[in-house]
Amino acid sequence: MSAFRVTNKDALFELALLAGNLSHECRNWLAAYATNDYPELQAIDQINGQIEGQLRGVAGQLRFGLVENAKRQLTQVYKKNAFLGRLVSNIESEAIRGSSKDFLVQSNREQKELLMMIDDALNRAFISALSASDSSEADEKKLDVAGVVRKLESI
């Protein structure tokens, strides 16, 4: 069970699925091309497939409240998304026309924004849990001090 409380798991679940769907959409677009003839398109397709699968994993982790696991997987996805963004932005291929490249770049940016929204919500959950932990530790220290004062007064 997670020690961290995420206020709206269903919304984060939906965001993770939406981000994964962007990768799926890119893969559908790439399927229209003969990707075997273009290794750069194969690389983009494979990375999108990995991202899509991992985001489905993140969604599942969030659904079951496994926030720490979701955060770890999200970090991996974010790194792949950043790499994919650089790859797509710098690609020079006869298979990709300007509008197609723009589509891939835009999808990557939208996915990054969704990842950042999920990450921000998870970070808030972690901060909230740490704040609660700090305040309970402070309360425990107050109790300890009060106990010492009572002992001193009874002497």
The string of DSSP letters for 37-56 reads G-HHHHHHHHHHHHHHHHHH
Q: Digits of tens for pLDDT over the chain (155 positions)?
A: 344 445 577 888 888 999 999 999 999 988 877 667 888 888 899 999 999 999 999 999 988 888 888 889 999 999 999 999 999 888 877 767 777 888 899 999 999 999 999 998 888 877 766 666 555 554 444 444 555 545 545 54
Domains observed in the chain: 9-154 (1.20.120)
Counting every residue, how long is the chain?
A: 155
- What is the model's pLDDT at position 67? 82
pLDDT reported for residue 137: 52
Hey, what are 47's tokens? 């990375």
What number of other Cβ atoms are within 10 A of residue 149's Cβ? 10
